[in-house]
């Protein structure tokens, strides 16, 4: 994952939290495990899964 993409993902967690999305809610909505969402926000999730989840979040209209 490119450094720029990593920094963008790291900045997403506080933004989503302010808008009422919590870890469990995101995991449920996007059929992911809470651990996957944590790894996504840390920039440590597999690149293919990162793309899959971020694409789903964008399609759902999340501000990421």
Q: What is the pTM of this model?
A: 0.77
pLDDT digits (tens, 9 = 90+) for 4-54: 555 466 677 888 888 888 889 999 999 999 999 999 888 889 999 999 999
Helix (H, G, I), strand (E, B) or coil at 2: coil
Q: Are 6 and 52 in contact (CB under 8 A)?
A: no
């Amino acid at each position: 994952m490119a450094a720029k993409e990593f920094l963008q993902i790291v900045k997403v967690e506080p933004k989503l939290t302010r808008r009422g999305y919590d870890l469990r809610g995101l995991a449920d909505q996007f059929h992911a495990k809470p651990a996957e969402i944590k790894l996504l926000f840390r920039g440590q999730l597999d690149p293919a899964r990162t793309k899959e989840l971020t694409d789903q979040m964008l399609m759902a209209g999340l501000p990421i």
